[in-house]
């Protein structure tokens, strides 16, 4: 038989209780005099002593009451059995010796055993042991703890134990034990609920919360269902980072960290992300409670429930002030390095230019020195000759006149003189001598001119600005280069066409300007020589090499010197680079690539003029130099 309603002391079925119930029933029946009576109709038995009859009636009524009670009891027992059997919790009845006397099907399922395997087994130690997750120390002594109940009148204990299961890992169960009566004896009714999953979840939750607490990054959770997105949690790292206590953060919105100079674009980005319920990461300036600023690298993610409904936002914050400062410092130092590199590059370029300029001006200077020296050396003897030539001419004329007088007054000389006159062909000699003297005069004149040109070109003595005749400079340069333009056995001469305009004296550094003419004319000769190597004599005759030099005054304040050749011209690529230092298309030993870069510098920097080049393949090349007439300092 099963003990019904073990939890209620009043309903514990024991014999005393039963007796009480029956007497109550009988008392009720006795009061009811008018109720139909089974004996009252039986008149045949009216002769029986009244006491007997009344006793019999009483007995009969008792039997009826017992029957009814039995039925009630059976029904109640069945109901209760049903409840116990179908209970989701495992129910085990353990007698005072600790042996199992009843198990429901949930208990069988929990332990993974049939009831016959469980019945009679020792419950404590065999089926349940104190578990790792137990709060209370439980062992077989648990029995002694029964009675430490909080509820008055209920001897109960509640604890967590481990259920030892057949062929399966132990389950953590919540066990509730109450005293009961089993087959007339005092026993224990244990209700067991499998809380393994709940326990694991709790454990994981505990771990997560430990992880959150131990994390060095700030973590804050806001309730997305509140209009103000109030924070419901923040970890210690967040509190440490911001200087606000957890109490101050919870219930508040994180915008309290922002200041006047917090980047509005970053805040707007957050606002957009929150509105779109999407993830966002920003770095923005925030302020601690004490007013100190810090850079916050903030990542906000939405959290949804199983149905996809937004419930929370999680913010993860990291103080990146140091990194940001380092980044800024790096940017500054990078900018400085770049600036320095640019300066260095400029300095290097200048150095290269100065170097090449030095080399060139050294060359020019030695050339100038040589030219000046030669001019000087020639000048003396030539002036000597030039100065004496006039006297020679005079003396010769006088002598010839004297000879003529002799011939007039002594027409018949002696034989010896006669023979000598014939031998030297006196008439021819007298005529030729005069001519010789005049051609010597022309020659000496030419030498003087050349010497003058050489001295003019070298301008060695003129390092300062001076108003000079540009045409003289061009002419003396052409004179120096003349030997390269003359026809030789194998090459044709280069024609020079001059179209000189009326030029005023130009204030300039004469030596360097001559150097520019020298470089440009030299290049033109190089280009023409090169192209002639590729042409037949006929082609050269049909289209002879030419250098045209034209000058004019432009815009009143400038002179323009154009030096054009009908050579091969340049490609666009070459043209783009001709003024670059060390750019050359000529073979090693011939080209240095510094002529034009120096010329550019002399014209543009030293004279604030301009130099341009127009050139196309097959169309020749023209250099156009513009110099201010007055030098502005």
Ligand X SMILES: Cc1cc2nc3c(=O)[nH]c(=O)nc-3n(C[C@H](O)[C@H](O)[C@H](O)COP(=O)(O)O)c2cc1C
Question: Which residues bind to ligand ADP, rule: CB under 6 A?
Answer: 519, 523-524, 527, 565, 567, 570, 574, 578, 583-586, 591-597, 621
Q: Which two structure tokens, joined as six digits, stand for 430?
A: 């007298």
300 binds, options ligand ADP, ligand X, Mg ion, none, Cβ within 5 to 8 A by partner type = ligand X
Q: Is 523 in the site for Mg ion (CB under 5 A)?
A: yes
Q: Which two structure tokens, joined as six digits, stand for 517?
A: 């003419």
Kindly give the residue spans of alpha helices, DSSP state H, lying in 87-138.
105-111, 115-118
- How far does CA 154 lie from the centroid of its chain? 72
104 binds, options Mg ion, ligand ADP, ligand X, none, Cβ within 5 to 8 A by partner type = none
Angle between helices 321-409 and 426-458 (to 10 degrees): 160
- Scanning 179-187, 227-235, 575-583, 590-598 for contacts with Mg ion by CB under 5 A, the matching segment is 590-598
- How far does CA 495 lie from the centroid of its chain? 63
For β-strands 218-223 and 231-234, DSSP reports them as antiparallel
Smallest gap from residue 220 Cβ to ligand X (A) = 5
Smallest gap from residue 514 Cβ to ligand ADP (A) = 15
Taking the alpha carbons at both ends of the chain, their separation in whole angstroms is: 129
Smallest gap from residue 612 Cβ to ligand ADP (A) = 13
Cβ-based nearer residue to ligand ADP, 523 or 551 = 523
- How many Å apart are CA 554 and CA 628, to the nearest integer? 10
One of 254, 485, 594, 598 touching ligand X (CB under 6 A): 254
- Scanning 201-209, 309-317, 418-426, 620-628 for contacts with ligand X by CB under 6 A, the matching segment is 309-317
Q: Is 220 in the site for ligand X (CB under 6 A)?
A: yes
- Scanning 46-54, 226-234, 519-527, 528-536 for contacts with Mg ion by CB under 5 A, the matching segment is 519-527
Got the DSSP string for 340-363? HHHHHHHHHHHHHHHHHHHHHHHH
Q: Is 298 in the site for ligand X (CB under 6 A)?
A: yes
- How many Å apart are CA 305 and CA 551, to the nearest integer? 90
One of 315, 595, 609, 620 touching Mg ion (CB under 5 A): 595
Cβ-based nearer residue to ligand X, 270 or 364 = 270
Smallest gap from residue 598 Cβ to ligand ADP (A) = 8
Using CB positions, name the residue nearest to ligand ADP: 595
- How far does CA 187 lie from the centroid of its chain? 76
The answer for residues whose C-beta is within 8 angstroms of residue 524's C-beta and 6 or more apart is 547, 563, 565, 567, 621
267 binds, options ligand ADP, Mg ion, ligand X, none, Cβ within 5 to 8 A by partner type = ligand X
- How many Å apart are CA 583 and CA 320, to the nearest integer? 51
Locate the DSSP E strands across 216-373: 218-223, 231-234, 280-287, 293-304, 310-319
Cβ-based nearer residue to ligand ADP, 354 or 397 = 354
Per the CB < 8 A criterion, the answer to whether 65 and 29 are in contact is: yes
Count of residues in contact with ligand X, rule CB under 6 A: 21
- Scanning 93-101, 179-187, 380-388, 520-528 for contacts with Mg ion by CB under 5 A, the matching segment is 520-528
Q: Is 300 in the site for ligand X (CB under 6 A)?
A: yes
593 binds, options ligand X, ligand ADP, Mg ion, none, Cβ within 5 to 8 A by partner type = ligand ADP
69 binds, options Mg ion, ligand ADP, ligand X, none, Cβ within 5 to 8 A by partner type = none
3 state DSSP class of 250: coil
Cβ-based nearer residue to ligand X, 221 or 603 = 221
One of 172, 187, 270, 454 touching ligand X (CB under 6 A): 270
- How many Å apart are CA 559 and CA 630, to the nearest integer? 10
Binding footprint of Mg ion on the chain (CB under 5 A): 523, 595
């Amino acid at each position: 038989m099963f003990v019904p309603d073990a939890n209620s002391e009043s309903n514990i079925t024991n014999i005393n209780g039963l007796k009480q119930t029956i007497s109550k029933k009988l008392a009720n029946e006795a009061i009811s005099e008018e109720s139909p009576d089974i004996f009252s109709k039986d008149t045949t038995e009216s002769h029986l002593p009244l006491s007997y009859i009344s006793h019999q009636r009483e007995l009969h009524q008792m039997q009826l009451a017992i029957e009814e009670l039995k039925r009630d009891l059976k029904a109640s027992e069945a109901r209760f059995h049903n409840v116990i059997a179908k209970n989701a919790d495992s129910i085990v009845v353990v007698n005072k010796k600790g042996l199992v006397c009843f198990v429901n099907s949930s208990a069988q399922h929990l332990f993974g055993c049939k009831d016959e395997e469980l019945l009679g087994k020792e419950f404590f130690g065999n089926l349940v042991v104190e578990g790792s997750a137990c709060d209370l120390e439980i062992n077989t002594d648990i029995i002694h703890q029964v009675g430490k109940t909080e509820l008055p009148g209920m001897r109960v204990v509640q604890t967590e134990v481990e259920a030892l299961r057949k062929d399966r890992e132990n389950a953590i169960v919540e066990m509730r034990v109450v005293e009961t009566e089993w087959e007339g004896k005092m026993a224990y009714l244990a209700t067991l609920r499998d809380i393994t999953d709940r326990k694991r979840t709790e454990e994981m939750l505990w771990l997560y919360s430990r992880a959150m607490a131990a994390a060095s990054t700030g973590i804050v959770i806001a309730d997305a269902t509140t209009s103000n997105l109030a924070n419901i949690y923040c970890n210690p790292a967040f509190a440490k980072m911001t200087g606000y206590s957890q109490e101050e953060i919870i219930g508040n919105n994180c915008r309290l960290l922002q200041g006047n100079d917090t980047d509005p674009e970053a805040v707007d980005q957050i606002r957009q992300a929150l509105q779109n319920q999407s993830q966002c990461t920003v770095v923005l300036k925030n302020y601690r409670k004490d007013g100190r600023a810090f850079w916050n690298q903030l990542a906000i993610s939405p959290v949804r429930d199983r149905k996809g409904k937004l419930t929370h936002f999680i913010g993860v914050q990291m103080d990146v002030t140091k990194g940001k400062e380092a980044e800024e410092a790096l940017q500054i130092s990078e900018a400085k390095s770049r600036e320095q590199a640019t300066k260095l590059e400029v300095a290097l370029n200048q150095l290269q230019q100065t170097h090449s300029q030095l080399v060139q001006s050294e060359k020019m200077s030695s050339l100038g020195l040589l030219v000046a020296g030669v001019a000087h050396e020639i000048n003396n003897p030539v002036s000597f000759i030039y100065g004496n030539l006039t006297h020679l001419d005079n003396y010769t004329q006088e002598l010839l006149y004297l000879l003529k007088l002799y011939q007039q007054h002594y027409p018949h000389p002696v034989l010896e003189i006669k023979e000598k006159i014939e031998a030297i062909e006196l008439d021819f000699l007298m005529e030729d001598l005069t001519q010789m003297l005049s051609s010597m005069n022309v020659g000496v004149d030419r030498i003087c001119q050349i010497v003058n040109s050489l001295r003019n070109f070298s301008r060695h003595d003129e390092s300062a600005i001076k108003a000079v005749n540009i045409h003289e400079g061009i002419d003396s340069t052409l004179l120096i280069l003349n030997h390269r333009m003359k026809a030789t056995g194998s090459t044709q001469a280069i024609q020079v066409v001059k179209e000189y305009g009326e030029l005023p004296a130009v204030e300039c550094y004469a030596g360097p300007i001559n150097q520019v003419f020298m470089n440009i004319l030299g290049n033109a000769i190089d280009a023409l020589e090169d192209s002639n190597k590729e042409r037949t004599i006929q082609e050269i005759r049909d289209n002879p090499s030419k250098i045209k030099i034209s000058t004019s005054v432009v815009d009143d304040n400038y002179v323009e010197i154009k030096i054009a050749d009908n050579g091969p011209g340049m490609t666009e690529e070459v043209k783009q680079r001709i003024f670059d230092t060390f750019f050359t298309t000529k073979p090693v030993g011939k080209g240095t690539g510094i002529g034009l870069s120096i010329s550019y510098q002399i014209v543009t920097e030293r004279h604030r003029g301009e130099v341009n080049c127009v050139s196309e393949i097959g169309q020749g090349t023209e250099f156009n130099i513009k110099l201010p007439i007055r030098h502005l300092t």
